[in-house]
Amino acid sequence: MGLIDIFKRKKIEGVDDTMYLTLREERRISKENNKIIRKFEREKNRKNVPEEEYLTQMRDPSNVVEFEDLHTYFFTDVGTVKSVNGVSFDIPQGKIVGVVGESGCGKSVTSLSLMQLVQAPQGQIVKGSIRYQDSNGKCYEITKMPKDKMLKIRGKDIAMIFQEPMTSLNPVFKIGEQMDEVVLLHVEGSTPESAKARSIEMLKLVGIAMPEKVYNSYPHELSGGMRQRVMIAMALSCDPRLIIADEPTTALDVTIQAQILELLRDVKNRINGSIMLITHDLGVIAEMADYVVVMYAGRIIEKGTVREIFHDPKHPYTIGLMRSKPTGETRDNRLYSIKGQVPNPINMPDHCYFYNRCDKAMNVCSRDYPDMVDFSSTHCAACHLYYGEGLQEQNKGKE
C-alpha cells in the first residue's frame, strides 16, 4: 500500500482528527463571537449595580463556595471551546477540596471563574452560578458581581497561589513591596509600618528563616521553594477564607514539595480556612484532600470523599488514572495505560466524552451523555455502567 492510498483512505473514513477551516468560515465565526461577547461585556461593565442583584442564598450554610452548573466558554476564531461545561460542587468550611484532571480539562478555568479572572473578552461565564459566603454570612453571586465589588473579595477573602512562583512574582519589585501592597489595599486603616510588620509576620509564619532579609530581596534571589513560600505568605496576609492553590508544587522538587504541602496543611488549620487544591498528582490529592472532584474534558465525572475515590473508584477514567501510576512493584507487568487522548475541545461529541478511550464502552455510551449516579450522599459518578440501559447490558454480558 503506497502512501497516497493511506491518505485517501483516511480522508474517506473521516478519521482525521485535526480540523482545517477556510478563511471565510473563520471570519464568520469571529463575527458571531463578537456579537455574543459584546452582550456579555455590556452586562459586566454596568455601573452602580444594586446590591440585591448579586446577593443570594447558599444551599448549605456550612459551605464557603458552591459551584452550580457552571459553564465557562472561550469564543475563539476556530470555534467555541467549552472549557467548563456544567460543573457543580461545594467547598465546605475548613476542608480541602482536591480537583484532579489532565491538562486542558478545565480545572484551572473553574478556579479562575471563581476569581473572575477568566481571560476576557474571549472567555465568558455563560451560564450557572458561583455562590460565595463571607464571614458575616452574606452570600454573593460571583457571576453577577460587578468588577469594583469583586476587587474587595479577590485577594482578600479568596486568595490564589499559582503554579509558577517565578512568573507570578513581579521581578522588578522587592518581595516586601509586593507583599505590603496586598495589605495596604485590603486591610482598612493600615499604614506602611503596620503593613511591613504584617508582611514580616507572614513570612515568619511560612517558615522563612530570615524574614527581614527576604523582605528586602528581589524574587530572582530566592529559590523556587522560597518563592512559593512567599506566594503563600502573600495569600495569607489578609486572612482569606478560601485559598485556591493551582498546582502549587508542580514546579518544585519532591523534598520541597513535601515541605510546602506540610506548610499548606498547617496554615489551613491555623486560619481555619478552606483550600481548593488543583493538581494532576493523585499522590498529592490522597495526602491532602478531604473531598475529591475528578474532571474530564470540562465536566465532572466523579466526586466523593477522598476514601471513596481512592478505595472505590467508579468511573473507568478514575480507575484508569489510578492504575496508570507506576507503583514500582514489578517491572515485568505492563503498566496500564488509557489509550488515545482527550477529544478535540471544539467539537465535543454528544455522547460520553470518554467513550473512545474507555475499556468498558457499550452501545449506549455512544448515544447520550450519562447522568450522575449517586452511590452515597457524597459519592457520585457520571457513567452508563451503573444505571438504566447500560447496567442491563452489563448484567447481560455477565450471564
**Contact in structure between 118 and 109 (CB atoms under 8 Å):** yes
Query: Concatenated DSSP letters for 260-326?
Result: HHHHHHHHHHHHT-EEEEEES-HHHHHHH-SEEEEEETTEEEEEEEHHHHHHS--SHHHHHHHHTS-
Q: Where are the beta strands (DSSP E) in the chain?
A: 63-76, 79-92, 96-100, 123-133, 139-141, 158-161, 242-246, 274-279, 291-296, 299-305, 372-374, 380-382
Piece of 21-29, 39-47, 124-132, 328-336 that binds another protein (CB under 8 A): 328-336
- Decide if residue 259 touches another protein (CB under 8 A): yes
Piece of 1-9, 61-69, 165-173, 362-370 that binds another protein (CB under 8 A): 1-9
- Decide if residue 322 touches another protein (CB under 8 A): yes
Cell of 112: 479562575
- Decide if residue 226 touches another protein (CB under 8 A): yes
Piece of 106-114, 133-141, 150-158, 282-290 that binds another protein (CB under 8 A): 282-290
**Residues in region 14-73 near another protein by CB under 8 A:** 16, 18
Question: What does the DSSP 8-state code read for residue 221?
Answer: G
- Decide if residue 339 touches another protein (CB under 8 A): yes
- Decide if residue 257 touches another protein (CB under 8 A): yes
How many of the chain's residues bind another protein (CB under 8 A)?
50
- Decide if residue 331 touches another protein (CB under 8 A): yes
CB of 190 to another protein, least distance (A): 31
**Contact in structure between 71 and 123 (CB atoms under 8 Å):** no
Beta bridge partners of 82: 73
- Decide if residue 320 touches another protein (CB under 8 A): yes
Query: Concatenated DSSP letters for 117-139?
Result: -S-TTTEEEEEEEEEEE-TTS-E
- Decide if residue 191 touches another protein (CB under 8 A): no
Residue in 45, 57, 135, 255 binding another protein, rule: CB under 8 A? 255
Q: How far apart are CA 243 and CA 229, in angstroms?
A: 14
- What are the counts of helices (DSSP H) followed by strands (DSSP E) for the chain? 14, 12
Would you state the torsion angle of the CA atoms of residues 192, 197, 198, 203, taken in this order, to the nearest 10 degrees?
130
Residue in 141, 177, 239, 281 binding another protein, rule: CB under 8 A? 281
Question: What does the DSSP 8-state code read for residue 15?
Answer: -
Residue in 126, 197, 286, 391 binding another protein, rule: CB under 8 A? 286
CB of 362 to another protein, least distance (A): 21
Q: How far, CA to CA in Å, does 164 sit from each of 32, 44, 86, 167, 249? A: 35, 29, 28, 6, 9
Cβ atoms within 10 A of the Cβ of 51, count? Answer: 11
Cell of 311: 478505595
| Residues written for the chain | 399
Residue in 102, 134, 164, 239 binding another protein, rule: CB under 8 A? 102
Whose cell is 486591610? That residue is 187
- Decide if residue 326 touches another protein (CB under 8 A): yes
Piece of 34-42, 75-83, 106-114, 316-324 that binds another protein (CB under 8 A): 316-324
Residue in 25, 69, 212, 253 binding another protein, rule: CB under 8 A? 253
Q: How far apart are CA 347 and CA 235, in angstroms?
A: 38
Piece of 69-77, 85-93, 274-282, 387-395 that binds another protein (CB under 8 A): 274-282
- Decide if residue 336 touches another protein (CB under 8 A): yes
Piece of 32-40, 110-118, 223-231, 368-376 that binds another protein (CB under 8 A): 223-231
**114 or 222: CB nearest another protein:** 222
**Contact in structure between 256 and 225 (CB atoms under 8 Å):** yes
- Decide if residue 94 touches another protein (CB under 8 A): no
CB of 6 to another protein, least distance (A): 5
> What is the H or E stretch that residue 181 is in?
helix 175-186
Piece of 68-76, 109-117, 185-193, 315-323 that binds another protein (CB under 8 A): 315-323
- Decide if residue 223 touches another protein (CB under 8 A): yes
Q: Which residues bind another protein (CB under 8 A)?
A: 3, 6-7, 10, 16, 18, 102-103, 209, 223-226, 253-259, 261-262, 280-284, 286-287, 306-307, 310-311, 320-322, 324-328, 331, 334-339, 341-342
